[in-house]
């Protein structure tokens, strides 16, 4: 197992700041925020009336209108990001006659919530017109594993195929578990990441009831303020982030362009509270330490951390504690940023989207900024790359995501050598 190295050969993104990786990355580096008033439904009575909606998404670039009607929006986003990732990796859309063994290509593209719009629409139909009017596609459009299922069918990928749910760490865990699938020789290629489309009335109402989201409705561009003293909650967004992971020799044999190497993965539980991170940062710290142990890295080897950084009071405070607990004195020397100031919080898609940010940071030597940082918080005293991108040699980048239920996920990427 330890001799099988895992590399990244492709990535694809759909986000509120760009529907492909080049546009997404340009927006991150320039701090171009994608948040604005909700347009999908009338949010006038909601406590929070802003979100990061995907804009200009043309599903007919990827499938026919008839096919699109059979898929919830989160699956459409997942397929779009997967198509870009496959093209970047130089992999064919049809694996069966490509010379690549399709049984050695797997998929873990997951959603934290799944087809919430489909569920909401069909529930309303049930109440208004009765059970006889429910669509036979309700279940296959609603359940979260169908991102992986549809992607597998689309490309003919017959390897390990599953979806997992760990709330906001879903995308991160999907990549990490795919790393182990390749390490243990159950696949040579994994299509992996997260997708989410929960900017719907029920989803927004639920998070409003938790009082977890920002109420800066009159100033959406400055509403998501990770690590800032005056932060007042996260701003929900949507999209998908998908990576192609590949066993090194398999990638080299077909002449693939290697973007980075995956070297470590950590997954832990806080065992503390359903919504609050552990106040001592222990669970997040152990996830970082586990990933570093698998990677054979020391704290001073970490150059960049793309933090979960949701802009909620407890997350940012306790996540800072977890980084300091895991890295010790080296925590003050590492470049940290939360790109959620720009993108908002894409929930189960966050780990996929933010992993792409880590890989692009390695490729370009640019640390994307934490925008909207105005007032320092003594409890968040790390170098969070405020407001302006910074050039820095980045050999090792770490993506961290935390989810309701006390789920902690960390994946470490290294410049391929």
Following DSSP, what letter does each residue of 268-327 receive, concatenated? EE--S-SSSPPTT-HHHHHHHHHHHHHHT--GGG--EEE----S-HHHHHHHHHHHHHHH
Per DSSP, the three-state class of 23 is helix
- Report which of 67, 34, 92, 15 is spatially closest to residue 354, judged by C-alpha positions: 15
CA angle 92, 396, 356 (to 5 degrees): 40
Encoding tokens for residue 360? 């692009």
- Write the CA distances from 340 to 15, 25, 308, 359, 373, integer angstroms: 11, 13, 8, 16, 12
Say which of 250, 345, 358, 380 is annotated catalytic.
345
Rounded Cα distance between 342 and 32, Å, is 6
CB atoms closer than 10 angstroms to residue 65: 8
Answer for the pair 17, 30: CB distance below 8 angstroms, yes or no.
Answer: no
Active site includes 173?
no
The β-bridge relationship of strands 6-14 and 189-196 is unpaired
Angle of helix 350-364 relative to helix 170-183, nearest 10 degrees, comes to 70
The beta-strand segments (E) located in 64-164 are 105-110
The beta-strand segments (E) located in 5-104 are 6-14, 36-37, 50-51
Give the residue carrying structure tokens 């961290």: 400
How far from the centroid of its chain's Cα atoms is residue 297's Cα?
23
Rounded Cα distance between 105 and 188, Å, is 6
How far from the centroid of its chain's Cα atoms is residue 94's Cα?
26
Say which of 168, 172, 208, 380 is annotated catalytic.
168
Say which of 308, 358, 380, 407 is annotated catalytic.
308
Q: Which residues are catalytic?
A: 168, 308, 345
């Amino acid at each position: 197992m330890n001799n099988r190295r895992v590399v990244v050969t492709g990535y694809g993104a759909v986000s509120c700041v760009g529907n492909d990786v080049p546009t997404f990355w340009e927006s991150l580096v320039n701090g171009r925020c994608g948040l604005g008033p909700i347009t999908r439904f009338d949010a006038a009575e909601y406590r929070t009336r802003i979100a990061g909606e995907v804009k200009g998404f043309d599903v007919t670039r990827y499938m026919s209108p008839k096919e699109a009607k059979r898929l919830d929006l989160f699956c459409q986003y997942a397929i779009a990001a997967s198509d870009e990732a496959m093209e970047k990796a130089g992999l064919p859309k049809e694996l069966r006659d490509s010379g690549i063994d399709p049984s050695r290509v797997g998929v873990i593209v997951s959603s934290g919530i799944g087809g919430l719009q489909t569920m909401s629409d069909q529930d309303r139909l049930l109440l208004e017109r009765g059970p006889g009017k429910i669509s036979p596609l309700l279940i296959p459009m609603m359940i979260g594993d169908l991102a992986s299922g549809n992607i597998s069918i689309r490309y003919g990928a017959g390897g390990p195929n599953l979806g997992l749910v760990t709330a906001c760490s879903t995308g991160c865990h999907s990549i990490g578990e795919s790393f182990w699938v390749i390490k243990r020789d159950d696949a040579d290629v994994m299509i992996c990441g997260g997708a989410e489309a929960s900017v719907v009335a029920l989803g927004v109402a639920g998070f409003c009831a938790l009082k977890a989201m920002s109420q800066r409705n009159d100033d959406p561009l400055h509403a998501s303020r990770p690590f800032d003293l005056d932060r007042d909650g996260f701003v929900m967004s949507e999209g998908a982030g998908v990576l192609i992971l590949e066993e090194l020799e398999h990638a080299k044999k077909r002449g693939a362009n290697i973007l980075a190497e995956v070297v470590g993965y950590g997954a832990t539980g806080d065992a503390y509270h359903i919504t609050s991170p552990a106040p001592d940062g222990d669970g997040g710290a152990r996830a970082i330490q586990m990933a570093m142990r698998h990677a054979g890295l020391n704290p001073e080897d970490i150059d960049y951390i793309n933090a979960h950084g949701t802009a909620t009071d407890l997350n940012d405070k306790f996540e800072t504690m977890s980084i300091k607990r895991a890295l010790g004195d080296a925590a003050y020397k590492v470049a940290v940023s939360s790109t959620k100031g720009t993108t908002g919080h894409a929930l189960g898609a966050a780990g996929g989207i933010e992993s792409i940010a880590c890989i692009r940071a390695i490729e370009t030597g640019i640390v994307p900024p934490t925008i909207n940082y105005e007032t320092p918080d003594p409890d968040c005293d790390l170098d969070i790359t405020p407001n302006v991108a910074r050039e820095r040699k980045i050999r090792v980048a770490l993506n961290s995501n935390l989810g309701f239920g006390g789920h902690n996920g960390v994946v470490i990427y290294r410049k391929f050598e």
